[in-house]
Amino acid sequence: KPGSKWTAVIVTAALLATALLAFQFVRTRRSPAIEPAKQTAPTATLDKSVAVLPFENLSSDKENAFFAQGIQDEIITTLSKISGLRVISRTSTARYNSAPENLPEIARQLRVSNMLEGSVQKAGDRVHINVQLIQADTDAHLWAQTLSPQEKARVEIKPTDNADAYVLYLRGRDYQTRPDNLLQDFRSAANLYEQAITLDPRFALAHARLSVATSTIYHFYQPTESWKQKANAEALESLRLQPNLGEGHLALGLYHYYMEGDYEPALRELGLAAQALPNDGDVGLYTAAVQRRQGHFAQAIASYQHAEAIDPRNSVMLYDAAQTYFGLRDWRTAAERMDRVLALFPDSFNVKIQRAYIQFFWKGSTAPIKAELQTLPPNLDPDGVVTFARWDVSLMDRDAAAAEKALAACQLDTIASQTGVPLPKSYLQACVDLVRGDAGKARAEFEAARPAIEKIVANSPQDGTRRAQLGLLYAFLGRKEEALREGQRAMELKPISHDVIEGATVEGFYALIRTQVGETDEAISRIERLLTTPFAVDYADESITLSDLRQRWEWDPLRKDPRFQKILAGPEPKTQYN
């Protein structure tokens, strides 16, 4: 049928692009425009590098833009399986035009010497594809190399014979690679992958991507057993269908990392993924993330730098690297990295908000956060992220009226905090009441929120951050024994010795719990230690930085203590890490 023919054309175009690279050496050698005597060997880094620009959709039906994107995606995926060839990812090239005039400048930005561009025109059952391999520096030879049998086998694998399934897959990839990391985007991606699999149950790549999407949902938003089982099953199914699928090994590695916290199997699977996908920036990204969880920060930074060399404009990788410097309290570098992300995605509201928070941590003023929030449209509030920031910064300024106004404008009953814990609006309102000085009303609101937060913990009993949040709720209610119990249990579940990032988060919560139940000496001792602990920082109330301690209302019970006053008066100590 026409759809199946169209899928075959997509794959054929990918193979054509690979052949063009091999053929180009001969074509260049015979070209009279280049004299052999003047040719010089280019550097190894640039000579074996290519960027595939977005393909221009010349079809009258603009819906076919997904097919144009599909050809670009398929070519990148195919070429990235060839070792020795550096291929820039779609995330790095997505913001460029299909046939830009300033190819040399774009090549410089992407650090490549070769550019592949093309167009797609589909009318009925007829498809016309134009593909051009262009040398940015016309004075250099292009690379030619014969594919190994293993590489040839990898590039000839067709992901699916079902065109409709492939379009659904492409839509899923679009949602999955958006820079704001929103729950609704990952759920949309998962839903589209499931639809693709319904049309083609043997679509191994869709199974692998579905596993990654569900792993992400579990890790950042909903750590439930159903998501865990789904992620594992989809990763294993992708490898059953295609045992050497790099994306399948990536998915299984992410499962071990996100779900099991089992880092050695995760690194082993990521190593297998790297062999199959030598140019995939995500493999390097997740390898660095695992090393970061292990507390191997110097290794993680080196891995991020290696991934950036492969994929210099990958916003997801740049964002994650920025968060690493943020966790190490290197505010200047974190700000510079976030600025690079914003240069690629200037409309990313979540990155804008977090960039403003970094300025607060660095300089101590909430003004940048408030200024950034004022630029956002009032109806922009996916998952309640914007409402949470407005509520948070208002309470840091002790402006209870502004915080209450932000909550009243939000139509959601549950709002996503920056820790990933969904909080009932009644909990946030109770905090407003505490800042206002109405303890009685605050207690009633906390009691109203308690069943929902207890249920969140019951649904994810092994999640340390959710349990620590419950402990803080108990502390606000004056239930000291239960508050300390939940905080201690959270630290047992996520010790820093095993998981530096979440371990530091729950320890920050525990210091806050100790503060709220009146154990001042213990709270201050923990604060002194956490001020030099990596990743005891966050865009929320449990964050331990001098700016947080000076500004946040949650630490008010400590303000009259001389030890706490001494901490606030001094410079921020240097974060200690390997």
pTM of the model: 0.77
Would residue 326 count as lying in a domain? no
Do strands 86-87 and 126-135 pair parallel, antiparallel, or not at all (unpaired)?
unpaired
Give the span between the Cα atoms of 542 and 524, in whole angstroms. 14
Distance (Å, whole) CA 475 – CA 433:
15
Q: Would you say 89 and 280 are in contact if contact means Cβ atoms under 8 Å apart?
A: yes
Does 52 reside within a domain?
A: yes
Angle at 391 between CA 399 and CA 293, to 5 degrees: 130
257 within some domain: no
Give the per-residue pLDDT at 47.
57
Please list the residues that pair with 530 across neighbouring strands: none
Whole-number pLDDT of residue 566:
97
Between helix 464-476 and helix 500-516 the angle, nearest 10°, is: 10
Picking from 140, 155, 170, the residue at the C-terminal end of a domain is 155
> Can you tell me which residue has the tokens 């086998």?
153
Buried b (16+ CB within 10 A) or exposed e, 416-427: bbbbbbbbbbbb
Structural domain span for residue 501:
383-569
**pLDDT score of 125:** 57
Choose the final residue of a domain: 127, 155, 183. 155
- Rounded-to-integer distance, Cα 155 and Cα 113, Å: 22
Q: 317 lies in a domain? A: no
CATH code, 51: 3.40.50
pLDDT in tens, the chain (578 residues): 434 443 444 444 444 544 444 333 333 333 333 333 333 333 333 457 888 888 888 776 666 666 677 677 777 777 777 777 788 877 778 778 766 767 888 888 888 888 888 777 766 656 666 777 777 765 333 433 344 556 555 555 678 888 889 889 988 988 887 767 789 999 999 999 999 999 999 999 999 999 999 999 999 899 999 999 999 999 999 999 999 999 999 999 999 999 999 999 999 999 999 999 888 888 999 999 999 999 999 999 999 998 888 788 888 889 999 999 999 999 999 999 999 999 988 989 999 999 999 999 999 999 999 999 999 998 899 889 999 999 999 999 999 999 999 999 999 999 999 998 999 999 999 999 999 999 999 999 999 999 999 999 999 999 999 999 999 999 999 999 999 999 999 999 999 999 999 999 999 999 999 999 999 999 999 999 999 999 999 999 999 999 999 999 999 999 999 999 999 998 999 999 98
Closest CA to 177 of 315, 302, 324, 356: 315
> Quick one: tokens of 491?
């630290």
Q: Is residue 376 one of the residues assigned to a domain? A: no
Q: How far is Cα 237 from Cα 233, in angstroms, rounded to an integer?
A: 6
What is the identity of the amino acid at 13? A
Q: Provide the domain count of the chain.
A: 2
* Dist. CA 398–CA 550, nearest whole Å: 12
Which three-class secondary structure string do you get for 540-576? Answer: CCCCCCHHHHHHCHHHHHHCCCHHHHHHHHCCCCCCC
Residue 44 to residues 41, 82, 103, 279, 280, Cα–Cα distance (Å):
9, 16, 20, 15, 19
CA 138 to chain centre: 37
Residue 368 located in a structural domain: no
The pLDDT of residue 79 is 76
Q: Are 349 and 180 in contact (CB under 8 A)?
A: yes
Q: Is residue 484 situated within a structural domain?
A: yes
Beta bridge partners of 238: none
